[in-house]
Structure 1
């Protein structure tokens, strides 16, 4: 089994993740994915035989003609009405390049490729009742428990400190003890 198939199986077997994917799909948001920690943490939980609580559910989409925060908040409110008490975070990737002073992104895939860690740069969505996965840097680091900067954060004076700060503040290795830091 390859890592994409393994990730799909992990998601399919998790009632919470499937419920989240169905809720997000029901909103019909353009180029929309759940991504980052919600998926990464689930895989690391499975590989460590642990269970952590959902501390945030990143939902990203790409709509270059509507850059308002109000639209993001509207989608968050809709998700809260569908599944209350979950830590929803909805962001339009058409405006998120400004956060780290990067060039504008062209899609959600492009935006995910700019996430700080390779193991975090993953997304999933439901299309025609099938789970689609995007992973611009592959899934090897995720499944081999490697915390590694994505290429854009590897040797960039401006961005590498962001990766390093995340490793320090997130303290992933205290929750998942088999992680390997590749700096």
Structure 2
């Protein structure tokens, strides 16, 4: 399958029963500014672009939301348990972006989209959600790199920036180019 743009990516996700079930489970939590992001979307696109018949397994399903009023990590763990009760065989990971700046040592994020924009790689900086049963995509840097199999850093992780080493380590340890050989890794 060839993906050309955001609409094509959204349509591919809509046709994926498993992905839609994940999005429906997350929507039931009614979390503010909530997205399923990173590898959930990225791997789907790369699998399609590589014509893989089977889904590449995910280490986790990243669910993010933004609630500056309640930043206790235990709330995130409770939300993971709720998701496990709905879909027990999935590797849920829930993070409130209102507290992630502390972990990442950067200025506070103002929204989940801001959090996504601070992910290390452009094709990872992407999220999807159901909002009143409508599929919405959040791609602060667009989908061109993702759909062209180009992996490059987001602005804070570019060469010469203090966090560039984090980007390089992720690229070296993820072995994405072994899983998806069409990828073009940019440093």
**Alignment correspondent of 2:50:** 48
Give the ranges of 4+ consecutive aligned residues of structure 1 lying more than 3 Å apart after TM superposition: none
Given that 2:4 and 2:147 are in contact with CA atoms closer than 8 Å, whether structure 1 keeps it comes out as no
**Alignment correspondent of 1:108:** 112
SS of the counterpart of 1:94?
helix
SS of the counterpart of 2:122?
coil
Q: Give the TM-score normalised by structure 2.
A: 0.95
User: Structure 1 residue 87 and structure 2 residue 86: aligned?
Assistant: no
Given that 2:32 and 2:66 are in contact with CA atoms closer than 8 Å, whether structure 1 keeps it comes out as yes
**Alignment correspondent of 1:155:** 159
Q: CA deviation at 1:156?
A: 4.6
**Alignment correspondent of 1:19:** 21
Residue-pair matches, total: 183
Q: Deviations over 1:118-160 (max 9, x none)?
A: 0000001111221000100110000000010011111354210
Q: Deviations over 1:79-101 (max 9, x none)?
A: 00000010000000001011221
Q: CA deviation at 1:172?
A: 0.1
Q: Distance in 2 between matches of 1:150 and 1:25?
A: 28
Q: Distance in 2 between matches of 1:57 and 1:10?
A: 18
User: 1:162 and 1:89, CA in 2 relative to 1: closer, same or farther beyond 3 A?
Assistant: same
Q: Give the TM-score normalised by structure 1.
A: 0.97
Q: Distance in 2 between matches of 1:116 and 1:156?
A: 14
SS of the counterpart of 1:162?
helix
Q: Distance in 2 between matches of 1:25 and 1:72?
A: 15
SS of the counterpart of 2:11?
helix
Q: Distance in 2 between matches of 1:93 and 1:135?
A: 16
User: Structure 1 residue 77 and structure 2 residue 81: aligned?
Assistant: yes
User: Structure 1 residue 32 and structure 2 residue 34: aligned?
Assistant: yes
**Alignment correspondent of 1:3:** 5
Q: Distance in 1 between matches of 2:141 and 2:156?
A: 11
